[in-house]
Structure 1
Amino acid sequence: MSKSDQRLQDEGSRPQVLIAGATAGLISRFVIAPLDVVKIRLQLQSHPASNAGSSGVSPIYKGTVNTLKHIVRHEGVAALWKGNVPAEMMYVAYASIQFTTYRSVTQLLHRTLVDDNNRLLLPQAAESFLSGAAAGATATATTYPLDLLRTRFAAQGNDRVYASLWRAVRDISRDEGARGFFQGLPPALTSIVPSMGLFFAVYEGARTPLGRLELPGGMGDATAGVAASIVAKTGVFPLDLVRKRIQVQGPTRSRYVHKNIPEYRGTVSTVRAIVEREGVRGLYRGLTVSLIKAAPASAVTMWTYERMLNFLTHRGEEKVGAEGV
């Protein structure tokens, strides 16, 4: 058996990967929810490059810390977890699908792209990139309606646009149709393929050498996750911002915290409109908090996933051993 095949075998069965991924997503989402709300608010904030329009109106939010303070002061601490219900559902489903697909695609590559000596023809980085890209695209497309709902709930202030998750689903379905749940999907898929490909390529490349350092508490996995997320997030951030702007289009566009969100249509035209009105910097609103969020999110996700998977695989081995006695 090759080392790569042994690694796949050690990484658990499909149900074990599914459970570990769901657990990682659930815990990670709760930890980073406040930073996610701050990021979305900053991304949706539209104002000219001069920082104040001709009317002299300044942006509501300025910086991560000030945005946190502003939300707590005007909406209460609970507002930092707005959209957490659909977000938790999304993170659990996303992580489960992501890790399961990653494992399945990797196994497929190991079955098909091997030489006569059963050695994989792809380098480790290429294998991780392809598996990660496929995993990201599959998870994104499957859970996208929950992502859109998360964004809309995080964007509403004290004047609630949607009274509940069920009302939101009903109203969007009635007013915008099924397509309403998938607004912004093209830029999401365009960004997630290189993003997740880069993430898993960097993560797998960094995990092995960091593992040899024998850092306490499995911090090697967490550190690799942080490094991978920073590289991936920075590379595709403008498309993530475009996705958020498109997600809040529709009949409720003027009812969120930011009343002046422009009307956008299509990925390319949205990018052009943002650059013309806000400059290139406008495509990177919220990048700082996104990177701050990426560190704990990826660290918690990968650390929890590896620990949970290790627990499940060892428990399975002990059960098999006990049954064989």
Structure 2
Amino acid sequence: MVVGYKKDETLTPNQKLIAGVVSGVTTRFITQPLDVVKVRTQLQAQDKGLTWLGLSWRILKEEGLATFWHGHSLGQLHSIVSVASQFHAYEISTKFVENYASQYTSPQFKKVLLFMCGIFAGCASATLVSPIEVIRVRQMVGKAQYGGVIQGAREVYRGGGILAFYEGLTASLMQMGPQVGITFAVFRYVQPLVMDYVAYLEDAGQTEAEKKAAETKQLLISSSVAGSTAGFVSKTATYPFDLAKRRLQIASHKPDPNVKTPTMTQKLVKCRSLMSCLVDMVRKDGFTGLYTGWVVTIFKAQVTSVIIFTTYEMVCYAMRD
């Protein structure tokens, strides 16, 4: 059962919203340490010979285990709002396409409309979570300065006013729109293929009861493979905008001299505009500069996509039963 609206669906939009929330919370809890390492890799001016595993060890040695969970509370809120809004916006928009727009369009153009539904879901989500994300990213690089939600919001506002909460929004829209569109499109295409193939391999000699019992395993395998594929393709295609977004989100950050700043976050790479950010990356490190931190980002994206889609599908499956 693929994500998106289906005419024979038995779940209500609210039930699917619950599934989106559960998948978001689960995913954030598991991937939070990877997110901290990813953000540090993208923002810190560091030795090029230092791998993300080496960076992880340095964080553990110099700042302690708790550092990997800085920004986790906001991360959970971010996940709930981000994932739930993505799935909900996608459900609403695909329902419109299936019920109305498809009557006046060709099957080929319908695929384009479904891709646009993913872009719409990504943009809606990016706009909603921008203030949360700005505070969360700054907590990851300076927890003592940005503290809890209230203290973090106060520090962001003091540094750049209300617009500081939307630093990097343009890059975020250019990243999240296509990324979510590609993610859902690839997932919708790959999951049924894998599920049919797995069912075909196991079909011989099975009774109806055995086939029913095998559905959960088939759904788990197909969702994992499709989620992994979707995460790799979408994140790689849009990664330069993700990197620029992070550097834009700390544009107005100014270290507080009264607060101890970790040595590893004293020299951060900042940007003031999207275009200058991309140009500076290429000018300094060539084309590969656009993919600084790509390895840990892809690893995190793989883990995230597998967990988020698999959890979503399994929760929906459980509620249907």
Range of TM-score over shorter length = 0.7 to 0.9
Preserved CA contact (<8 Å) 1:148 1:247: yes
Return the offset for 1:80: 1.0
Alignment counterpart, residue 175 of structure 1, candidates 153, 156, 159 = 159
| CA distances 1:189-236 after superposition (whole Å, capped 9, x unpaired) | 011121111111110000101111145561211110110010000011
Are the structure 2 counterparts of residues 113 and 242 from structure 1 closer, same or farther at C-alpha, using a change threshold of 3 Å?
A: same
Are the structure 2 counterparts of residues 125 and 71 from structure 1 closer, same or farther at C-alpha, using a change threshold of 3 Å?
A: farther
- d(CA) in 2 for partners of 1:120 and 1:211? 27
1:275 matches 2:278: no
Q: Which runs of 5+ in 2 are unaligned?
A: 200-216
1:79 matches 2:43: no
- d(CA) in 1 for partners of 2:312 and 2:77? 17
Return the offset for 1:184: 0.3
Return the offset for 1:131: 1.5
In structure 2, the partner of 1:249 is 251
In structure 1, the partner of 2:89 is 101
In structure 2, the partner of 1:140 is 126
| CA distances 1:90-126 after superposition (whole Å, capped 9, x unpaired) | 001111111010000001112322337xx87446643
- d(CA) in 1 for partners of 2:17 and 2:108? 26
What letter matches 1:115 in structure 2? Q
In structure 1, the partner of 2:79 is 91
In structure 1, the partner of 2:237 is 235
| Equivalences for residues 280-299 of structure 1 within 5 A | 280-299=287-306
In structure 1, the partner of 2:142 is 156
- d(CA) in 2 for partners of 1:93 and 1:82? 19
In structure 2, the partner of 1:32 is 31
Return the offset for 1:79: 1.0
- d(CA) in 2 for partners of 1:114 and 1:235? 28
Q: Which runs of 5+ in 1 are unaligned?
A: 48-57, 315-325
What letter matches 1:79 in structure 2? T
In structure 1, the partner of 2:272 is 265
1:192 matches 2:180: no
In structure 2, the partner of 1:319 is none
Query: Aligned to 1:248, what secondary structure does the other structure show?
Result: coil
Query: Aligned to 2:297, what secondary structure does the other structure show?
Result: helix
Return the offset for 1:278: 3.0
In structure 1, the partner of 2:227 is 225
What letter matches 1:29 in structure 2? R
What letter matches 1:186 in structure 2? T
Return the offset for 1:7: 2.8
- d(CA) in 1 for partners of 2:188 and 2:225? 12
Return the offset for 1:298: 0.6
What letter matches 1:137 in structure 2? C
- d(CA) in 2 for partners of 1:216 and 1:75? 43
| CA distances 1:12-39 after superposition (whole Å, capped 9, x unpaired) | 2110111000000000011111111111
Preserved CA contact (<8 Å) 1:113 1:122: no
- d(CA) in 2 for partners of 1:304 and 1:136? 19
Are the structure 2 counterparts of residues 94 and 8 from structure 1 closer, same or farther at C-alpha, using a change threshold of 3 Å?
A: farther
Return the offset for 1:253: 5.6
Return the offset for 1:75: 1.2
Return the offset for 1:251: 4.1
1:211 matches 2:218: no
Preserved CA contact (<8 Å) 1:132 1:201: yes
Return the offset for 1:290: 0.8
Preserved CA contact (<8 Å) 2:31 2:300: yes
- d(CA) in 2 for partners of 1:205 and 1:294? 19
What letter matches 1:219 in structure 2? I
- d(CA) in 2 for partners of 1:5 and 1:132? 10
| CA distances 1:261-290 after superposition (whole Å, capped 9, x unpaired) | 345221001111222223322221110011
| CA distances 1:151-178 after superposition (whole Å, capped 9, x unpaired) | 1111227xx2223221011222233211
Preserved CA contact (<8 Å) 1:133 1:195: yes
- d(CA) in 2 for partners of 1:295 and 1:263? 27
Query: Aligned to 2:146, what secondary structure does the other structure show?
Result: coil
What letter matches 2:230 in structure 1? A
Return the offset for 1:148: 1.2
| CA distances 1:29-82 after superposition (whole Å, capped 9, x unpaired) | 1111111111111101236xxxxxxxxxx46x8112111111111111111111
Preserved CA contact (<8 Å) 1:242 1:270: yes
